[in-house]
Amino acid sequence: MTTDDETVIHVTPDAAWLPRHGRAEVIRRRTPPRPMSVVRLLLRHDDRVFCVPRHEDGRLDLPHRIVGADDPCGEIAIADLAEQVTGCRAPLTFTGAVRNVVDSPHADYPWPMPHAHFGVWASEASPVVEGSWVGVGEGSVLRERHWFPLRG
């Protein structure tokens, strides 16, 4: 699906982390698409972004939260996440999303089909929680994260 305010900036066909023939599209938009599955908070300082360990595997990643069914655009989840991470309700700017496109059902795939969105919002606020500032330049350890083209 393409809208007048959307630009596809990267596509991974047959993405290894998706069911067969699934693809991941990194999109820039002004408004959050639906359904939003996960929200991520991008706090940037020069060429570094703020990261925390992921619960699943301990690898560093942007702070994130799974979105509830009652929040189709993720706006409640990202406001709550931003307040938790920064200690305030600072302005947020939606920068884009990774859209999983999965047309064939798969029992182990937990996200909505055919589209599931993993949105990224940026804030000028500073973190008040423990974490690490990680470089996003050439050779970054974060370059394989699906959101990386949205780092801004």
Checking if the pLDDT of 1 tops 50, the result is: no
Q: Work out the percent of the chain whose per-residue pLDDT is above 90.
A: 91
Tokens representing residue 50 in the block: 């703020």
122, 93 in Cβ contact below 8 A?
yes
DSSP secondary structure string, 32-75? --SSEEEEEEEEEETTEEEEEE-TTT--EE--EEEPPTT-TTSH
Q: How confident is the model at residue 2 (pLDDT cuts 50, 70, 90)?
A: very low
Q: Are strands 115-123 and 36-45 parallel, antiparallel or unpaired?
A: parallel
Task: Note the CATH number of domain 6-150.
Answer: 3.90.79
Checking if the pLDDT of 142 tops 90, the result is: yes
Q: What is the mean pLDDT of residues 133-146?
A: 94
Q: What pLDDT, in 10s, does the model give residues 55-113?
A: 989 999 999 999 999 999 999 999 999 999 999 999 999 999 999 999 987 888 999 99
